[in-house]
Amino acid sequence: MKPLRVILVLLPVVVAGCGPLVQIGAKGPPAVSLLLVEATATPTGVQAKPGSPTIAVDLPLLPAMLQTLRVAVRISDTEIQYLTAAGWAETPNRQVQRLFSDTLAARGLPVLDRSQVSPQPQATLSGALRDFTLDVRDPLQPIVRVRYDAQLSHPNQPRGPDLRRFEASEPVASQAPADVAAALSRAINRLAGDLADWTVANI
**Tens of pLDDT along 48-102?**
565 678 999 999 999 999 999 999 999 999 999 999 888 999 999 999 999 999 9
Look at residue 43 and tell me if it is in a domain: no
- The pLDDT of residue 47: 61
Distance (Å) of CA 32 to CA 7, 68, 106, 133, 135: 13, 16, 33, 19, 22
Asked, for residue 169, whether it belongs to a domain, the answer is yes
CA distances from 112 to 51, 126, 150, 185 (A): 14, 13, 18, 24
Domain that holds residue 64: 6-37+55-202
User: What residues does 150 pair with on adjacent strands?
Assistant: 127, 164
**49 located within any domain:** no
- In this prediction, residue 166 carries a pLDDT of 98
| Single pTM value for the model | 0.82
Question: pLDDT by residue (tens digit) across 21-58?
Answer: 454 444 555 667 899 999 999 877 666 565 678 999 99
Q: Which is nearest to 132 in space by CA: 68, 197, 178, 51?
A: 68
Q: 131 pairs with which residues across the strands?
A: 147
Q: What total number of domains does the chain contain?
A: 1
Q: Is residue 99 part of a domain?
A: yes
Q: What's 86's domain CATH number?
A: 3.40.50.10610
